[in-house]
Amino acid sequence: MYIIGENIHIISERVKIALKEKDAKYFQESAVKQVEAGARALDLNMGPRKADWQEIFPWMVQTVEAVVDVPLSFDSTNQLGIEAGLQKVTKAQPIINSTSAEPERLEKVPLLAKKYNAKLIALTMGSSGIPIAADERVNIAVETLIPRMLEIDFPISDLIIDPLVLTVSGCQQYCPHLIETVRTLQYSWDPPPAISVGLSNVSNAVPAQNRSLINRTYLAMLMGAGLQMMIANPLDEEQNEVIRVIETRDESSPVGRLYLKIADRIAAMEEPTIDDVEMNDPQQVAIWKTVQILLDKVIYADAYLGQEAFA
């Protein structure tokens, strides 16, 4: 699993303060920690920085590149800021996060990526929003995003499609469709573009104590569908354990076997069943209940783990 570390994100209060104080040490420690935990690239989301982009984007690149060698992903809507950052990159091939299929963004952002030989994350979102159905999202990739890349001679091998994870708390019906989108996108083009998702979006607006369980259960399902890249928190050890279990097919623990079974079921285009679960193990029951909400079989509620399980 190729993890783009998500922890340098303006949504974090700590990051906000560090940015304000230009606390290089904070960002360097975060970068090193993420890379040591397995991040293969680092997402940098500093917000639009309308006032100080000229200063902040290059500063961040220099700060982070002083301590790590991995690709940097510029996660911003400010194209001037992104460009200012790209000009300072000296190490790995950078990533622009992101364009969408909206005409204005799709016009400009791919050209910027091409100019600086950056990879490009492209969202399956058009002017009318994010479609629910898997085939509609695949269509945006095949009919709009990829043709634009071909038009400007942008290598599809540098394209990363992000089919957009939405939260189970409020957008539950999107969750199963996203799995199918990930599955289908791999056959959408030859050679196929890379596929990446923002995993933790699936648990936005979910009480903190349940987020990690929802994230890693969804991850097992997505890995079953073939996911190999994601923007995620590389420091989430339980998540990393699920990745290891599935990638190495480690059947030595009961919970690990369940995650592996879930991935295998999804890979075989089946749904996990209650027979896959040892119902006397509370951890497995919690995973089963989580599968049920992620497949939109049972309506999500914050207290969903407190409800009795059913088949």
Partner 1 sequence: MPIEIPLDKWPGSVREVKIGATAPEGGTRGRTVVVGGQKSMPFMHFEAPAPHRPVIAIEVKNRRPEDWSPLLANVWGDAMDDPGKWAKAAETVGADLIQITLSLGTKPDEAVQTVKAVLASTGLPLIVFGPGQAEADNELLVPVAEATKGERLLLGICEDKNYRTIVATAMANGHLVNARTPMDVNLAKQLNILISDMGLPLDRIVMDPSTGALGYGIEYGYSVMERLRMAALQGDSMTQLPMLVTPGFEAWKAKEAKVGSGVPASWGDWEQRAINWETLTAVALLESGADIIVLRHPESVKRVRSAIEELASEPVTA
Chain contacts with partner 1 (rule: CB under 8 A)? 169-170, 172, 297-303, 306-308, 310
Nearer of residues 97 and 167 to partner 1, judged by Cβ: 167
Let me know if 23 is exposed, middle or buried by CB neighbors in 10 A (0-12, 13-18, 19+). Answer: middle
Residue 298 CB, shortest distance to partner 1, in Å, is: 5
In this complex, which beta carbon is closest to partner 1, that of residue 149 or of residue 178? 178
Q: Distance between CA 120 and CA 73 in Å, rounded?
A: 9
Could you tell me the smallest distance in angstroms from the CB atom of residue 297 to partner 1? Answer: 7
CB of 120 to partner 1, least distance (A): 35
Which lies closer to partner 1 via its Cβ, residue 150 or residue 205? 205
**In the bound complex, what is the minimum distance in angstroms from residue 230's beta carbon to partner 1?**
25
CB atoms near residue 17 (< 10 Å): 11
**Cβ proximity to partner 1, 49 vs 289, nearer residue:** 289
- CB-based burial of residue 139 (10 Å sphere; 0-12 exposed, 13-18 middle, 19+ buried)? middle
The least distance separating partner 1 from the CB of residue 208, rounded to whole angstroms, comes to: 16
State the CB neighbour count (10 A cutoff) for residue 302: 11
Q: By the 8 A CB rule, do 72 and 94 touch?
A: yes
Minimum CB separation of residue 170 from partner 1 in Å reads: 6
Separation between Cα atoms, residue 201 and residue 95, nearest integer Å? 20
DSSP output for 125-154: -BTTB--SSHHHHHHHIIIIIHHHHHHTT-
| Nearest to partner 1 of 142, 305 (CB atom) | 305
Choice between 19 and 206, CB closer to partner 1? 206
φ, ψ (nearest 5 deg) of residue 64: -75, -40
Which distant-in-sequence residues (6+ apart) come within 8 Å of 55 by Cβ?
A: none
